Amino acid sequence: MKKILPATVAVLMLLAGTMAYAAEEQWSYAGEKGPEHWARLDPAFTLCGQGANQSPVNLTGFIEAELEPIKFDYTGLVTKIQHNGHTVQAAYSAGSFMTVNGRQFELRQIHFHTPSEHQLDGKQFPLEAHLVHADAKGQLAVIAVLSSLGAENPNLKKLWQQIPQEVGQEEGMATQVRADHLLPENREYYRLNGSLTTPPCTEGVLWLVMKNPVAVSEEQVKQFSEVIGHPNNRPAQPLNARVVLQ
C-alpha cells in the first residue's frame, strides 16, 4: 500500500472542506507554535521555513500581461460552515468550477482571514476570503478576495449568521449563499505562484487575487474577529524571484 505523507493528508483534508480540530492544534498564529516556528513543529511543515514560493506576499512590482478573464461556472451553494479554531470554513456543494488558461478547477471550500494575508503595495485590508479550488489531478488554485471597510456585506451577513460560536462545531446552512456573490463585480486579477498559507505550506498553488475589494462593515469584521478570538493571518513572505502578473 502506498504511504501517504502527512503533508498530503493535510491537503486532502483541505480539499474535503474540513480540517479536524485535533489536527489544527499542532500550530497556531502566535506564541511558540506561531508562524515563525511552523517549520520546526513537524517534519511535514519544512516548506514553511525553507520554501522559495511561499504565500501570502505583498503584491508589488507588477508585470503587465494579457491575462484572460477567469470563466466562472458556480452553480452550487455553501452546504455547511465550521469553526475549526483557526478560521471559519464553508464547505461547498460539488459541481461548481472556474476555468483559467484552459485549466478547470472545482470549488471545494471557502474560508476567511483577518486582517488580510495578502497586501497591495504594502496596504493591508481588514478581511480576506479564500476560495479554494482543485483540478482533476489535485492541483490547487485559490481565488483571494480582499475586503475594504464600507457598507454591510449582505452575503457575508448570511454566512456570519450561521457561524458556530464554539471551536470544533459545524452547522448546516439555513440560508443560501452562492460563491459568485462573494466576488467583486469587476473580476480583473493579479496572478502568481505560491503556497498554502497554513501548514504544511505546500507549494505549487496558483493564486488569483482579485484587484478590486468588496465592501465589509466594521461590525462584520469585529464579529468575525470575536468568534476566532485572534488575528489569523500569516505574515507576508518574501516574493523572491517570482513575478506578479496583472
Q: Are strands 170-172 and 119-120 parallel, antiparallel or unpaired?
A: unpaired
**pLDDT tens, residue by residue, 166-220:** 999 999 998 999 999 999 999 999 999 999 999 999 999 999 999 999 999 999 9
Task: Establish if 1 belongs to a structural domain.
Answer: no
Contact 234, 130 (CB under 8 A): no
Task: Establish if 131 belongs to a structural domain.
Answer: yes
CA 68 to chain centre: 22
Q: Domain holding 120: CATH number?
A: 3.10.200.10
- Laid out side by side, the sheet with 119-120 consists of 58-59, 119-120, 123-124
CA 220 to chain centre: 18
Output the CA–CA distances (angstroms, integers) from residue 54 to 20, 66, 81, 196, 223, in the order listed: 24, 24, 27, 7, 29
Output the CA–CA distances (angstroms, integers) from residue 35 to 123, 132, 147, 244, in the order listed: 20, 21, 23, 24
Task: Establish if 119 belongs to a structural domain.
Answer: yes
**pLDDT tens, residue by residue, 58-109:** 999 999 999 999 999 999 999 999 999 999 999 999 999 999 999 999 999 9
* Boundaries of domain holding 230: 6-245
**pLDDT tens, residue by residue, 26-49:** 999 999 999 999 999 999 999 999
Query: Where in the sequence numbering do the catalytic residues fall?
Result: 86
What does pTM read for this prediction? 0.92
In the chain, the number of structural domains is 1
DSSP 234: P
